[in-house]
Chain A
Amino acid sequence: GAVVSQHPSWVICKSGTSVKIECRSLDFQATTMFWYRQFPKQSLMLMATSNEGSKATYEQGVEKDKFLINHASLTLSTLTVTSAHPEDSSFYICSCRGFTEAFFGQGTRLTVV
């Protein structure tokens, strides 16, 4: 199956700084990627749909200026958490959609101190 690589696996940052998370599709071109946030013991919450070469589509309630998404190529999408605060601490997962099923990155655990 397709491989999706997400980096970093974990990151600790100071409050007020920005953090960039990368999501790469390694063996196929992904015109669409999805970004999720997952709180402990909860389901995946879709944050935004990333479209190559165009603006991302954000879900209701997700701050566009805080969670910047860039999908500059068919194999790379990035999520930047700007001016991070402790409440942004969470597990972030990216996903690429194949013809029928979705493939997920390993996830990134973000801790803001």
Chain B
Amino acid sequence: AQTVTQSQPEMSVQEAETVTLSCTYDTSESDYYLFWYKQPPSRQMILVIRQEAYKQQNATENRFSVNFQKAAKSFSLKISDSQLGDAAMYFCAYRRPTQGGSEKLVFGKGMKLTVNP
């Protein structure tokens, strides 16, 4: 079974600084998707960034970028120029690709990010 591990339960960063959130996963599949979701205090789950395993290029979305190391099964998220609004729980997630759409997400335990002004 696939597993996702986020080993750091909490992190803090100063506003405008850069922080990296770590995530490792275990799978025997060669093709899959990886995600970072953000859950602010409102508890609405928000997609931060997505990475397809077949793509060698690391995904980037504005201040958010990933370091995807397929061989090491590592998928870290870098937040640059941290803002107060980045404070949230961050969940790393894995999913196998399917045509039927029924494949479930496997979540890590999450990490609480605090941004200090």
Interface residues of A (CB under 8 A from B): 1, 31-32, 34, 38, 41-44, 46, 49, 51, 91, 93, 95, 97, 99-102, 104, 106-107
Contact = CB atoms under 8 A, between A and B. Distances in A.
Given A43-B110, A91-B43, 20 more contacts: A31-B101, A31-B102, A38-B43, A41-B112, A43-B91, A43-B107, A43-B108, A43-B109, A49-B102, A49-B104, A93-B43, A95-B45, A95-B105, A97-B102, A100-B97, A101-B35, A102-B47, A102-B95, A106-B43, A107-B43
A61 to B, nearest CB: 15
B100 A32 contact: yes
Contact of B44 (A31, A34, A43, A107): A107
B57 to A, nearest CB: 16
A23 to B, nearest CB: 13
Contact of A32 (B35, B101, B107): B101
Given A42-B110, A44-B91, A102 B105 contact: yes
B52 to A, nearest CB: 8
Nearest to B45: A104
Contacts of A32: 100-102
Given A101-B50, A107-B44, A34 B104 contact: yes
A104 B42 CA distance: 13
Interface string B61-93: 000000000000000000000000000000100
A65 B3 CA distance: 28
A102 to B, nearest CB: 6
Contacts of B110: 42-43
Nearest to A30: B101
Contacts of A41: 112
A42 B109 contact: yes
Contacts of A91: 43
